[in-house]
A and B are shown apart, each in its own frame.
Chain A
Amino acid sequence: MGYIGETIDSIKSIQIRQLLTQAISLGMIVTSALIIWKALMCVTGSESPVVVVLSGSMEPGFKRGDILFLHMSKDPIRAGEIVVFNVDGRDIPIVHRVIKVHERDNTGEVDVLTKGDNNYGDDRLLYAEGQQWLHRHHIMGRAVGFLPYVGWVTIIMTEKPIIKYILIGALGLLVITSKD
């Protein structure tokens, strides 16, 4: 009876240690991903160093599902640059091209108008009520590079959250049931 009790105890203790180890390794993976993301934010100077193209307003150059690498520097904003900006009141950033720039002589402040390549008209309809121009603080970064198709993973997970839950559930199951 004592021997069985001992074996049960030793089995239980091994499992707890294994469980803890697995939980810690999972935590390490998640935090290192976060570290990489934050480091990217520092290096590129942008709040959001990678964005996924969500609409077709820049076709045929950028299609829905492409990802863009952003970089923000103190360089002045010039016509033709592809910028990512946030409009007050909307939380989804928009990726369009700058078509007009008016830069003030004394302060360096700038008025910017943007337009999607595939849109007929400029973006004034998208700006906030009464806003005619974008200013520097609206702009989160310039697009400097791009990868096709990779963003579909994010789009699918955002638009069909059930897939996100299935993935996380499956990953969790894998972690718990794997022997190492």
Chain B
Amino acid sequence: MHSFGYRANALLTFSVTALAFICAIASFSDKFSNQNPSAEIQILNINRLKKQSYGNDEVSLTLDISADLQSLFTWNTKQVFAFVAAEYETPMNSLNQVSLWDAIIPDKEHAKFRIQTSNKYRFIDQGHNLRGKEFNLTLHWHVMPKTGKMFADKIVMPGYSLPDAYK
């Protein structure tokens, strides 16, 4: 009953259970954080709106993104993954979401930022529906915890549109 084997087994079981309990509590504490992030996106310039050689429309644009995501960081936060997606509707597709830019925010200091950038990923449609298209720009964020449940949310900013003709 007091051999090394039994003691090692009891110690291991207890420590695993205690660790699991601590992880669960750490994750649960995220529920109580008060979050009010804010963001603003402006389109500085539509660089190109063209039709690719095999038919799909592609647009390249420059964005001015400013956001304050500091309130998302808790003691259990490892990083926040933020990205901006253009969302629009076409006759064939009820929803299109195209990620234009993303960033990994490792800590609270970097969470308040303003950046001017052209789109990191190509904005390509399935078809040629982009002329004059109205779309939303949505800033999504995913909070990746040090341990436990991940959660995500977004801010939708409607009212952007593309030019009526290829350029």
Footprint of B on A, CB under 8 Å?
Answer: 60-62, 76, 78-82, 97, 99-105, 111, 115, 117, 122, 143-148, 174
The answer on a CB contact under 8 Å between B149 and A103 is no
Q: Supply 18 further A-B pairs (C-beta < 8 A) apart from A61-B81, A105-B91.
A: A61-B79, A61-B144, A62-B144, A80-B142, A97-B81, A99-B83, A99-B99, A101-B96, A102-B126, A103-B95, A115-B121, A117-B102, A144-B149, A145-B148, A146-B148, A147-B23, A147-B148, A148-B146
B36 within 8 A of A: no
CB distance from A140 to the nearest CB of B (A): 17
Task: Report whether B93 and A102 are in contact in the complex, using a CB–CB cutoff of 8 Å.
Answer: yes
| B98 lies within 8 A of chain A by Cβ | yes
Is B81's CB under 8 angstroms from A79's CB?
Answer: no
Partner of A80, one of B79, B83, B95: B83
B contacts with A, residue count (CB < 8 A): 33
Binary interface encoding of chain B residues 145-157 relative to chain A, with 1 for a CB under 8 A from any of its CBs, else 0: 1111110101000
Residues of A within 8 A of B152 (CB): 80-81
| A144 CB contact (under 8 Å) in B79, B99, B121, B150 | B150
CA distance A85 to B34 in the complex (A): 34
Q: How far is the CB of B80 from chain A (nearest CB, A)?
A: 10
Cα A49 to Cα B133 in complex, Å, equals 40
Interchain CB contact under 8 A, A100 and B150: no
Q: Which of A79, A82, A104, A147 sits near B85, CB closer than 8 Å?
A: A79
A103: B residues at CB distance < 8 A: 93-96
Contact across chains for B150 and A145 when beta carbons are under 8 A apart = yes
Contacts of A101 in B (CB 8 A): 95-97
Contact A79 to B92, CB < 8 A, known contacts A145-B150, A146-B147: no
B154 proximity list for chain A (CB < 8 A): 80
- B62 sits at the interface (CB 8 A): no
The complex places the Cα of A76 from the Cα of B106 at a distance, in Å, of 29
Residues of A within 8 A of B146 (CB): 148
Q: Could you tell me if B99 and A100 are in contact, using CB atoms closer than 8 angstroms?
A: yes
Q: Which residues, 92 to 133 on B, are CB-close (under 8 Å) to A?
A: 92-99, 102, 104, 106, 121, 126
Complex: A162 Cα to B147 Cα, angstroms: 31
24 sampled A-B residue pairs with Cβ under 8 A: A60-B78, A61-B78, A61-B79, A79-B97, A80-B83, A80-B85, A80-B99, A82-B150, A97-B81, A99-B83, A99-B99, A99-B121, A100-B97, A100-B98, A102-B96, A104-B93, A104-B94, A105-B91, A117-B102, A117-B104, A144-B149, A145-B27, A147-B23, A174-B5
